Structure 1
Amino acid sequence: MGKTVLITGAGRGLGKALAAEFTQRGDRVVAHARSAEALREVPHDKALITDLSQPESLTKAVDKAHIDTLDAIVHNAGVAAISAVADLSVDQWQDHMNVNVIAPAELTRLLLPQLRQSRGHVVFVNSGAGLRTGPQWSAYGASKHALRSMADALRVEEQANGVRVTSVYPSHFDTDMQRKVRHAVGSDYDPQRATTPETIAWYIASFVHAPADGVVNEVRIEPPNPLPIKPRD
């Protein structure tokens, strides 16, 4: 029997690839986006429409979506502003924390009863910046470090309830965000040296579909020959 999986940020990039991968495996997809229009070409069975930059809106949105059963959440949505600490505004810091940390925490909290019932799975799509942060990555890196801490705490808290928690750290994969990041720092970009979103989606779906007697707590995924993010000479 297929699973019911909620995917945030499903309108494009990795989120869209995740929706396709889970659908292909026979799962029912609850796709999140900020608008219904963003999901027009995304395979899904149900939609969760809300803006994650306003976590206080999640209770109403979840109630409206009627998510009665749930086997997994994949927290994929995220924002990244590449800028020095000296140039980041309070609004940018708050946006990073709201979208990348607080919204995943609140969405998980709201849906924990369903996840406990199914002995389900929470997957956090983190980043290499969640392990080590360099110049101009302060807001994004801080939010991803916070996300890692939250996942670590949740993993222990929910073990007795059978809820599995996985943090995934993709290194360099082909998305619009990756292109924007490299443009911001003046770095070269070569999609042939990046992992495809479809490959990342395959790994994540495989973790969710893994036998119940094992869990991948953390995993780092990177291409065989990644192109470093550094300014052009």
Structure 2
Amino acid sequence: MLFDDAHAVTGASGGIGRATAEALEKAGYTVISASRRLTTIPSAPTGITTHQFDVTDADSVATLERTVAEHPVPLTLLVNNAGIPTHAATVADSDVTDWRGTYDTNVIGSVQTTQALLPHLIRNRGHVQFIGSTVGRVPYERGAAYAASKHALAAMVQTLRLELNGEPVRVTEIAPGMMRGDEAGGEFMRERFNNDPEAIAAVYQGVDHPLTPEDVAECVVWCATRPAHVDVDLMEIRPLAQAAQHKVHRTS
């Protein structure tokens, strides 16, 4: 039996987004699953509807807003998950096109989507969550463009929370650390390391149980299901092997 709530998830074709859409549907919510790659968005018997959506395209964002407005179930949660990585490169050697593309998706895309759906969330006493990263607090070498985008996202989330003070909307950032799975071990890392399997394998060499997308999805659901007066401002999660951004226990 579904609750009388709709939850929208962006970037839902794989990784954290797909796992989150499935976890929310399993928890009993109607899910509006939005992604650029429509064919690989998860499907479910009753609880998930799929929509082609690009956070960087204003017309696409407007279409999603109309979908939400016409949906028979009120929107009470937006999960801003859509994001892209950058190629591993030093600041001196990086391509500024990477910087622009990453910022446009990871930051501006989240801003556009939030702006479009925020009136619904305010009206329905809702909740907006953002999937950030621990790199949004502590950067690492050869990852400046991605780290900069996640730092900017974190600043935007903190500002939004200040600006919405007094409104019935909760604002949460979930910041995962080292993660492997559909997203981190797949397209995300292939893009970052230019499809170099040895470079990807080196990241996880000897690391026991990195995070999975399902781990992060469980955190999204937990934050969303707290009482309405409880706002989880920031949740940082890492695998046990990762004590800090720069300190990872490896068995080999």
Indicate how the Cα distance of structure 1 residues 211 and 222 shifts in structure 2: closer, same or farther if over 3 A, else same: same
**Contact kept in structure 1, 2:21 and 2:31, CA below 8 Å:** yes
> What is the 5 A alignment of 1:61-140?
61-63=63-65, 65-68=67-70, 69-81=74-86, 82-140=88-146
Q: How far apart are residue 176 of structure 1 and its match?
A: 4.5
Distance in 2 of aligned mates of 1:13 and 1:189? 21
Partner of 1:13: 15
Q: How far apart are residue 102 of structure 1 and its match?
A: 0.2
Partner of 1:35: 37
Distance in 1 of aligned mates of 2:113 and 2:178? 27
Distance in 1 of aligned mates of 2:62 and 2:220? 28
Partner of 2:196: none
Partner of 1:46: 49
The alignment's TM-score, normalised by the length of structure 1, stands at 0.88
Q: How far apart are residue 187 of structure 1 and its match?
A: 2.8
Question: What amino acid maps onto 1:160 in structure 2?
Answer: G
Question: What amino acid maps onto 2:241 in structure 1?
Answer: N
Number of equivalenced pairs? 229
Q: Percent identity?
A: 28
Which ranges of 4 or more aligned residues in structure 1 deviate by more than 6 Å? none
Partner of 1:169: 175
Q: How far apart are residue 66 of structure 1 and its match?
A: 4.1
Distance in 2 of aligned mates of 1:120 and 1:137? 34
> What per-residue deviation string (whole Å, max 9, x for no partner) do you get for residues 185-215 of structure 1?
9433457421222121111111011101111
Partner of 2:159: 153
Distance in 2 of aligned mates of 1:185 and 1:150? 33
Distance in 1 of aligned mates of 2:171 and 2:205? 32
Distance in 1 of aligned mates of 2:90 and 2:202? 14
**Contact kept in structure 1, 2:174 and 2:234, CA below 8 Å:** yes
Distance in 2 of aligned mates of 1:49 and 1:5? 16
1:187 aligns with 2:203: yes
**Contact kept in structure 2, 1:55 and 1:102, CA below 8 Å:** no
> What per-residue deviation string (whole Å, max 9, x for no partner) do you get for residues 25-78 of structure 1?
110101011132122x433533331223x3333344325534443101111121
> What per-residue deviation string (whole Å, max 9, x for no partner) do you get for residues 85-125 of structure 1?
22322321111111100011010001111000111111111
Indicate how the Cα distance of structure 1 residues 114 and 63 shifts in structure 2: closer, same or farther if over 3 A, else same: closer
Which runs of 5 or more residues in structure 2 are unaligned? 194-198
The CA RMSD over aligned residues, in Å, is 2.4
Distance in 2 of aligned mates of 1:189 and 1:57? 43
One of 231, 239, 242 as aligned partner of 1:223? 239
Q: How far apart are residue 18 of structure 1 and its match?
A: 0.6
> What per-residue deviation string (whole Å, max 9, x for no partner) do you get for residues 144-192 of structure 1?
0000011001111112111110011111222344332573594334574
The alignment's TM-score, normalised by the length of structure 2, stands at 0.82
